[in-house]
Amino acid sequence: MQVMSHGQFADPAVEARFQETARTLRLPFVRVYGVLFMLVALAYTIANPMFVSHEDTAKLAIYFGCMLILAGTYIGATFWPGYVSRPGVDFAALLGIVFLLGHINLVLFDELIDLQEEMHAVGVMNRLSVSAFAAVALASRPRLFLLWLALDVVVFLSTVLAVQSHGAGLWYALLSYMSGAMIMIAINFAIDRSSRGAFALAEALEAERAKNEALVYNMLPHAAVERIRDGRVVADSYADASVIFIDMVGFTRLAQRVSPGHLVELLNNFFNHADRCAAEHGVEKVKTIGDAYLAIAGGNVVSGNSADAAIAFARAVLDGVGELQRIAGTDVGLRVGIHSGPVVGGVIGATRMAYDYWGETVNMAARLESTAPVNGIAISESTWLRTTDRAAFGPPHDEMLKGVGETCVYHAAPAAGVADLTAVSRVA
């Protein structure tokens, strides 16, 4: 929940967002209230000639005309984009309306009561209708509403004191007015509190929803999430993708030499580094398998040339081997295998869902990784034919791959400046 301070949200940004949201949601009610008020004013204008003298009818027509123009302008202002951020528009318009209303009541009472009866303080056209209007329009600004009420009292007293003695009529009118004002304050406060509570709850729910959505999008591609929400099967075919398989050399031996905490730190740094490189080169992380990292170029993440993107990603990951060696405090190496071809991707199962890729291309990349030099890259002929950057790869040679047979493979030399790990390679 959002923290409150002195009746407002402690965070100014949250308070500003609440003000904008609350005023936007109240816009339809403010407009309807304004139209209803104009209709009431029109009804008085139609009825006046039947009961009021010609002289006062002309005077009332001016007052009601000004009121209708002011109310209409106020309603029109609510359609202005800057209205939501300017509560002063409500304040000024409603204060002007209540000022005109006070003068209208004086004229009407001059017509309805005997000249000997001093009852000007009692309104014919109810002032509380405008107060209720202000209580709603300024609900999220209780201090501004209290200031408006205070000025309304000043307008009320300045209007009636000139024509009303300080007798029982005035005091009863003041009691009536103040009791109504207290009710309007309570309404204004209740709307403000309930609005803030609802907004804080909505903000908390939205934050939780955003976190959950971020977790979902971290596990699944956006397009896959939309299809799952619609109840559709998520199955895709990619004709030209490049699969990258990266494995840590001598991990089993390393696990026997270092503490579990140290090992987890090393893996975490490796995977985080690979994630950053994947984001930089437009490569999609598929999953981690033990100490291995599986990624794909040309799958859900669009890339111009999947082979070029895959090789650039692999080189960026290998550039971080020096830092991994520093963290491990010992020689650490990586091997990379890349193969290009068709793959099938999709989401299976109903629990712990993940978007995965299958096919011979994935299997071949894993087999190629085992032939790569330590801190080097092994690519298939298929990838070599697709890439535009062949200079770093040596001449082709045949490798016997398990379950595949003899395969034409191209190797890239280990990254410059990385420690010689020939011994590690022999025991991996």
Do 46 and 136 have their domain in common?
A: yes
Residue 224 located in a structural domain: no
Cα-Cα end-to-end distance for the chain: 53
Residue 404 located in a structural domain: yes
**What confidence score (pLDDT) does residue 352 get?**
67
Residue 394 located in a structural domain: yes
Do 204 and 244 have their domain in common?
A: no
Q: CA 352, CA 334: separation in Å to the nearest integer?
A: 29
Element (H, E) at 398: strand 397-401
Asked which of 184, 212, 240 is the last residue of a domain, the reply is 212
Do 64 and 147 have their domain in common?
A: yes
Do 118 and 156 have their domain in common?
A: yes
Q: Phi, psi (5° rounding) for residue 49? A: -60, -25
Q: CA 57, CA 48: separation in Å to the nearest integer?
A: 6
Asked which of 151, 179, 212 is the last residue of a domain, the reply is 212
Q: CA 11, CA 178: separation in Å to the nearest integer?
A: 35
Do 195 and 317 have their domain in common?
A: no
Do 208 and 257 have their domain in common?
A: no
**What confidence score (pLDDT) does residue 415 get?**
53
Residue at 293: amino acid letter:
Y
**What confidence score (pLDDT) does residue 183 get?**
81
The parent domain of residue 420 ranges over 232-427
Do 285 and 396 have their domain in common?
A: yes
Q: CA 129, CA 364: separation in Å to the nearest integer?
A: 79
Q: CA 150, CA 157: separation in Å to the nearest integer?
A: 11
Do 161 and 251 have their domain in common?
A: no
Residue 367 located in a structural domain: yes
In sequence order, which residues have a C-beta less than 8 Å from that of residue 234 and are 6 or more positions away? 224, 227, 228, 346, 347, 355
Residue 176 located in a structural domain: yes
Do 199 and 277 have their domain in common?
A: no
Element (H, E) at 253: helix 251-257
In sequence order, which residues have a C-beta less than 8 Å from that of residue 332 and are 6 or more positions away? 248, 249, 250, 254, 266, 321, 324, 325
Residue at 319: amino acid letter:
D
**What confidence score (pLDDT) does residue 427 get?**
40
The Cα-based distances of 358 to 137, 285, 347, 361 in angstroms read 60, 14, 11, 8
Q: What single string gives the DSSP state of each residue in 336-397?
A: EEEEEEEEEEEE-SSSS--EEEESHHHHHHHHHHTTSPTTEEEEEHHHHHH-S--TTB---E
Residue 223 located in a structural domain: no
3-state helix, strand, coil in the chain (%, to 5): 60, 15, 25
**What confidence score (pLDDT) does residue 294 get?**
94
**What confidence score (pLDDT) does residue 379 get?**
94
Tens-place pLDDT, residues 58-84: 888 999 999 899 999 999 999 999 998
Q: CA 328, CA 258: separation in Å to the nearest integer?
A: 8
**What confidence score (pLDDT) does residue 6 get?**
57
In sequence order, which residues have a C-beta less than 8 Å from that of residue 321 and are 6 or more positions away? 332, 333, 334, 375, 415, 418
Domain count, the chain: 2
Q: 355-358 and 292-297 as β-strands: parallel, antiparallel, unpaired? A: unpaired
Asked which of 177, 212, 247 is the last residue of a domain, the reply is 212
Residue 220 located in a structural domain: no
Do 42 and 100 have their domain in common?
A: yes
Residue with tokens 């280990």: 414
Do 81 and 189 have their domain in common?
A: yes
- Kindly report the CATH number assigned to the domain that includes residue 265: 3.30.70.1230
In this structure, how many other beta carbons lie within 10 angstroms of the beta carbon of residue 189? Answer: 16
Residue 219 located in a structural domain: no
Do 207 and 252 have their domain in common?
A: no
Q: CA 143, CA 194: separation in Å to the nearest integer?
A: 16
**What confidence score (pLDDT) does residue 117 get?**
45
**What confidence score (pLDDT) does residue 385 get?**
92
Q: Digits of tens for pLDDT over the chain (428 positions)?
A: 555 555 688 888 888 888 888 888 888 888 988 888 888 888 888 888 887 788 888 888 999 999 899 999 999 999 999 998 888 999 999 889 888 888 888 887 777 654 344 445 545 456 777 888 888 888 888 889 999 988 988 887 777 776 666 666 667 667 767 777 888 888 888 888 888 888 888 888 888 888 887 777 777 777 777 777 777 778 888 888 999 999 998 787 777 777 888 888 888 989 999 999 999 999 999 899 888 999 999 888 877 889 999 999 999 999 988 888 887 777 788 999 999 999 998 887 666 677 889 999 999 999 999 999 999 999 999 999 999 888 888 889 888 888 788 889 999 876 554 444 444 443 44
